[in-house]
Amino acid sequence: MPPLSKLPFGRLDPITYLPNRQQFLVDYQPAPGAQLVMMTLSDSKHFNQLLRAIGHEYSEDFLRAGAKRLREALPDDVPLYHAGMLSFAFLLPNGTTPDLLQKIITCFNNPIHCGRIPVTPDIALGIADCKDSRRLRRPARRSGRGAGQP
C-alpha cells in the first residue's frame, strides 16, 4: 500500500483517515495461508440508536476511536482499511496466532468514549481464507454499487 499521503483522491476515509474499501480492492493480493478479517464495530441498529442519542459528531468520535483502538491492536505491518460505515478489513499473514484475534476482542471489552459518553462497542469478527481475489472483488463491487458507490 502506498503511503497515506500518496493515495489518490477518494481513497482515504475522511472520518478515520484510513484507506477505504476502494483502496482495499486495489491493494488486495491473496497470499497462501493468509486470512481476510472483517471487523464490525456495531450492528446498524445499535449505531442508529447511537446517532439518535448522541448525534453525528460523537458517533464520528466512536468510529475514529474504534479505528485507533484496532490499529493499536494490530501489528504495524498489517494494513488496516475502513471498508464500510462500521466495518474494517485487514489481512492476517500466514502463521498469525489466534492470540491476536483474542487481543482484538479483549481491547474492545472496554467502552469507547465519545466526548464524555462511554459507548460499549458490540464487535463482530469474520474470518475467511480468500485465495482468489476475483471472487472477493465481485461481491464487494456489487455491494458498493448498491450503496451508491462506483
User: Within a domain: residue 52?
Assistant: yes
Q: Which domain holds residue 130?
A: 40-146
CATH code, 129: 3.30.70.270
User: Within a domain: residue 69?
Assistant: yes
Closest CA to 64 of 118, 9, 108, 114: 114
CA separation (Å) from 27 to 21, 65, 83, 93? 10, 24, 12, 15
Amino acid at 98: P
pLDDT digits (tens, 9 = 90+) for 67-119: 999 999 999 999 999 999 899 999 887 767 788 989 999 999 999 988 888 98
pTM of the model: 0.79
Query: What average pLDDT does the structure give for the chain?
Result: 81
3-state SS assignment for residue 42: coil
CA–centroid distance for 140 within its chain:
14
The structural domain count of the chain equals: 1
Tell me the average pLDDT across 42-63. 86
